[in-house]
Chains A and B, each alone.
Chain A
Amino acid sequence: MAKNRYSLNVNGQRRQVEAEPDEPLLWVLRDFLGLTGTKFACGEGECGACSVLIDGDEYPSCQVSVEDVAGGEEIVTIEGLGKPGELSPVQKAFMDYTAFGCGYCTPGMIIAATALLRSNPHPTRDQIIAAMDHHLCRCATYPNVLVAIESLAGSSDEEDN
C-alpha cells in the first residue's frame, strides 16, 4: 500500500502526516506526531488504553485508521485536555483521589470519563460503570476511579478514600 498525505485536526492544531491509509491513529499519534500520552496496550480495541476523543466521542485509536479521521474530525488526546499546572477537572479529580496505580491506563480512563461527563454531567454509579467497563486497569484501581468520577458527577455515595 502506498503512502498518502493527510491533514489531521489534533488538539486544535492542523498536523500533516504521510502514512498508509490503514495506519492506526494510535501509531500516527505516537510515532508521527510524538503524542505519547495515548498508550498502546492491546492493539485490538479491548482495553481502552489508547482512547481519544473524536468529535467529542470516545474511540480506541488503535481501531481507527488515519483515513477515518482525515476529514477534519476534531481529535483530542490526553495532551489536549490539560497540562501540568493547567489540569482539566477530570484530571484534577483523578489526581486528588489517586485514581491510578502504575498510570499506564490512566490517559484512556480520563478520556472516557471526560466523554461521559460531557454527555451526561450527573451519571449514576451504574451509568459510570457501564460507560467505563471497557477500560481495563491491571492495578485494578477501579474503586478509586469510580470515586474520582463520582466526585464530579455530584452523586453522594462517596466512600472513604
Chain B
Amino acid sequence: MSPTRRDGLAGLGGATLAYAFQVGCSRTETIDYANFPAPEKKERQDGRPNYPGVDHRDWLLISSDGTVSAFTARTEMGQGLTTVMYNLLSQALELPDERIRVVLGDTELCPEDGPTTGSAATHYFAWNFWRACHEIKKDLVLLAAEATGLPSEDLEYRAGEIVSRSDSAQRIGIGDLANGQVRRMNLAADDSSVRPPAYIDKGTLSVHAEAIVTGTLQFTGDLTVEGCLYGGLLIPPYHHHMTRLLDKKLNKARKVPDIVDVRRKWWTVAAIGRTYSSVQKALATVEAEWEVPDRPVELDNEREIRSGAVLKQVMDRKGDVDAGLRRSGLVVSESYITQYGSQFPMQTDTAVAKVEPGRTTVWVGSQSPFLARYNTAVAMHQPESEVHVVGLPMGGGFGAKAGHIVASEAANLAEMSGTPVKYVYSRKEEVQHRNRYKESVVIDISSGLTPDGRLLARKMDIFQDEGHGTEELYNIPEVLTLRHAAKMPFKHGTMRGTSYVQTCFAVESHTDMVAEAIGMDPLVFRKRNVLLRAFSPLIDSCAEMMRYGKYQPPDDHGVGFGIINHGGRQLGVVGAEVSVDRASGEIKVVRLCGAYDIGVVINRNTARMGIRGAMLWGLGYALLEEVQLDGHSCHTTGFSSYRIPRFSDTPPIEVAFLDNQHPGAPRGCGEMPLPATLAAICNAVYNAIGVRFRAIPMTPERVLAALREGLS
C-alpha cells in the first residue's frame, strides 16, 4: 500500500507544520488538514481538467527535526530547477542544504498544478517560494511568541530558529513549532513591493552533480520494480496514423526467447518480454500490412499550409493598418517559412507502471505529472484518486514529454500482463510515430515606414494551427496580426521556444530588410523603434561584446543581430558572426554573444548552461534541424537523419546578464535565447553573402542553390 498524501506528509518526520501558499488572494487562514489542498480543478469543454495556472499553489513543510521540504508539481527537466530551489530556500531560510528537501512532480505529495513549460518554473514557482519564505518567517515568529510567551516584537528568525533579540539564550527551533497545523498563505498578486534577493548566486553546483557524473542518478528507464517486464507496441510506418492493422502473423514473435506474451491489442500488436531486446525482436518479426492513410502529406509544404487555411484569430489590432500602410513612404513586404522540428530528448519517452487492485502507480519523466495522472485514469477507467504518478528525472523534455501517452500505455500493458511493465520507446518509434513536431509556420509580413526610419504600420498573417501569441517588439501605431489555421495532416505540439521561434525568425529577418531598405544600420533602426526602453542597454552591451563597428569581418564573414521579448519578462539581444564557404555552401557560426535581462540570477552555472544550450538550439534551427516528411512517410528515424548541434558546431559563446527592466524577481531563461540566436544567424548570413533565406534551415544544398540563383 503506497502512502497517501496525508501519510506522505506526516511520514516526513514526526509532527509537521505545513504552509500552503498561492498568489492572487487576499485572505490568510488556517485550513483543515483533511481538505488540504482542495484542488480548484475546472472541467474544460472536452472534459479534460484545466489548471487555471493563476494561483500557482505550492507547499512548504517544516518537520519536527527542523528540516524544510518544498513540494511542487513542477518537474526537473535538466534545466536545474531542483538546484535553483535549494539555492533559494537555503538563502531565504538561512539553512544548509542538508536541512532542505525538494519534492517535484509526485501527484500524491505535491499540490495539483499544470505542466512545466515556457521557461515559467523559475519565474512563477521559485519566486513565489522566495516570497513565501519571508511571510513564513514572520508567521513563525508569531507561533514562537505563542509557544514561549515572549513578546513577538522581541523575536526574530535566525537560521532555522526564533531567537529573542534581548536575550539570545532564549530561542526555539522551527522544528519545535511543528504542531500538526496547516497554514494557508496568500501572496498578493502585486509583487512590486517585495524585496528581491540582492544576489543569490554563490556559484553552487547542481544538487544532482555527483549522481550524474557517477551514473547513479536514476532516470525513468533505470528504475527496477520487482517482477517488472518490458512492454512494447508495433508501430505503423505512417506518422501518427493509428490505422487499422490489416494482417499479422504472430507465431514467429511468440518464439523469440524471453518473450512472455504477444497478442493483438487495440489497433496494433503488443509484446511483453523479459528484456528490452526481446520485445524489439518480437515486434520486428510481425509481418504487418497497414492501411494506407487516405490523405498524403502535400509535398509542397507551404502550399499544404496555405491551402484551406481559415482565419482563426485576431492576435493584435491597433489603429487602421491599411491606412497606415497607405500613408507610409516605403512598404516592405516579405514571406517566411519555418521547418518541422523535433525535440529529440536524449532519453526517449519511458514509463514504468504497476497495477494493483484499486491502485495504479506510474513512474514517468513527465513535464506534467497531473495530466499524466488524468490520462492514465481515463485509460484505466479508474478515478484519478486511484492513480499515483511519480515524476522521475526525464533525460530532457523540451516539450516532447508533455503528452503522456507512454504513461497510460505502460499502465494498460501492465494490466494486460498482470505484472509491472516498463515501456521504453525506441528512438525511431519516438521520432517517427509518437512525436508531436514543432509546427512549420508561414508568415507574411508587411511594414510601412516614415522616411526617417520609424515604423508606422505592420500587417502580419501567420499561418499556424496553434497560436500562442507573439510579444510585440517594436513601437508601431497601426498593427494588424491575424492567425490563419490549416488542418495539419499530422500532429504537432510543444517544442522549446513555442511559437516565438517562428515569429522571431520572420520579424527579425524582416527588421534587417526594412532597415536596409531605408539605408539605416540595423541596430540604430532597432533602437529607434523598439517598444521597451530596457532594450537599449542590452543592444549596446551585445554590440560591445561583438565589437560591432570596430571590427571588420573577413570576406564571406557576416555579423547579425536578433532581439527577443519573451512573455514581457525576459529580454535578450544576440549577436552572431558567421562564415560562409561559397564552394561547399557550408555556414559556420564563428561566435555568438548574448546580453540578457532575466532578473536576478539564482544560479549562474545552471543559468549559463541553459542559455548557451538555447543559443545552440537557435543554431540548430538556423542551419541543421528539419524533420523529413514526404507523402505518407516520415524519413526521419533518428540522429542519423536529423542533425542536432554537436561539439564541432559549437562556437565560442559569450553571455552577459543585465538587470534593468524591473530588477528583482527571477524571470527564467530557458527558451528566449533560442529565437534571437536563430534570427541573428540569419541576419549574419545575409550580411556575409547578401542572400536572404525565406526558409530555414540554411543547409549547404539550399545555400549553394541560392548562390547559383543569385537569390536576394
Residues in chain A within 8 A of chain B (CB atoms): 1-3, 20, 23-24, 27, 30-32, 34, 36-44, 46-47, 49, 77-79, 81-85, 87, 91-92, 94-96, 98, 100-107, 110, 128-130, 132-133, 135-146, 159, 161
Contacts and interface: CB of A to CB of B under 8 A. Distances in A.
B636 to A, nearest CB: 12
Interface stretch (B131-139, B156-164, B204-212): B204-212
A110 B221 CA distance: 20
Given A34-B224, A140-B645, A27 B210 contact: no
A105 B648 contact: no
Interface in B638-685: 638-640, 644-648, 650, 652-653
Interface in B70-101: 77-80
Nearest to B643: A136
A42 B636 CA distance: 13
9 contacts: A39-B346, A79-B215, A85-B210, A95-B212, A102-B345, A138-B398, A140-B614, A145-B647, A159-B652
A27 B224 contact: no
Given A1-B257, A27-B277, A102-B394, A79 B639 contact: no
Contacts of B339: none
A87 B645 CA distance: 29
Contacts of B644: 136, 138
B194 interface: no
B647 A146 contact: yes
B276 A101 contact: no
A43 B394 contact: no
B77 A102 contact: yes
B275 interface: yes
A31 B644 CA distance: 29
A61 to B, nearest CB: 12
Given A77-B215, A91-B214, A161 B650 contact: no
B474 interface: no
Task: Give the most central of A20, A36, A40, A133: most B CB within 10 Å.
Answer: A40
A42 B647 contact: no
B601 to A, nearest CB: 14
Contacts of A36: 215, 218, 221-222
B116 interface: no
A136 B212 contact: no
Q: Is the interface of B mostly helix, strand, loop or mixed?
A: loop
Given A24-B277, A40-B424, A91 B213 contact: yes
A47 to B, nearest CB: 5
Interface string B255-299: 001000000000000000011110000000000000000000000
Given A39-B346, A101-B613, A136-B639, A110 B427 contact: no
B215 A37 contact: yes
B620 to A, nearest CB: 8
B652 A94 contact: no
Given A84-B216, A91-B214, A129 B345 contact: no
Contacts of B616: 140, 142
B565 interface: no
A87 B216 CA distance: 12
B616 to A, nearest CB: 4
Contact of B78 (A47, A103, A136): A103
Contacts of B394: 102
A94 B213 contact: yes
A111 B243 CA distance: 43
B276 A27 contact: yes
B257 A20 contact: yes
B569 to A, nearest CB: 22
A41 B350 CA distance: 11
Contacts of A102: 77-78, 345-347, 393-396
Contact of B609 (A87, A98, A133): A98
Interface of B: 77-80, 205-206, 208-219, 221-222, 224, 257, 274-277, 343-348, 393-396, 398, 424, 426-427, 605-606, 608-610, 612-614, 616-617, 638-640, 644-648, 650, 652-653
A41 B347 contact: yes
Contacts of A145: 647
Contact of A41 (B209, B348, B610, B640): B348
Contacts of A161: 605, 608
Nearest to B398: A138
Given A138-B345, A138-B346, A2 B257 contact: yes
Contacts of B213: 82, 87, 91-92, 94-95, 100, 106, 110
Contacts of A82: 213-214
Contacts of B398: 138
Contacts of B347: 39, 41, 102, 104
A136 B645 CA distance: 8
Contacts of B650: 129, 140, 142-143, 146
Contacts of A146: 647, 650
Given A40-B424, A85-B210, A87-B214, 7 more contacts: A31-B276, A41-B347, A46-B638, A100-B209, A102-B395, A103-B78, A129-B647
A79 B215 CA distance: 7
A159 B639 CA distance: 29
Nearest to B343: A138
A95 B216 contact: no
A84 B215 contact: no
A96 B213 CA distance: 10
A85 B398 CA distance: 32
Given A39-B219, A43-B426, A79 B647 contact: no
Contacts of A20: 257, 277
B210 A84 contact: yes
A99 B80 CA distance: 12
A37 B652 contact: no
Contacts of A138: 343-346, 396, 398, 644
A27 B275 contact: yes
Contacts of A77: 215
B216 A37 contact: yes
Nearest to B223: A36
Contacts of A87: 210, 213-214
Contacts of A41: 346-348, 395, 427
B564 to A, nearest CB: 18
Nearest to A102: B78
Task: Give the most central of B218, B343, B345: most A CB within 10 Å.
Answer: B345
Contacts of A39: 219, 221, 346-347, 395
Given A83-B214, A133-B647, A44 B638 contact: yes
B85 to A, nearest CB: 16
A4 B208 CA distance: 39
Nearest to B613: A140
A86 to B, nearest CB: 9
A107 B215 contact: yes
A43 B217 CA distance: 21
Contact of A135 (B217, B224, B647): B647
Contacts of A91: 213-214
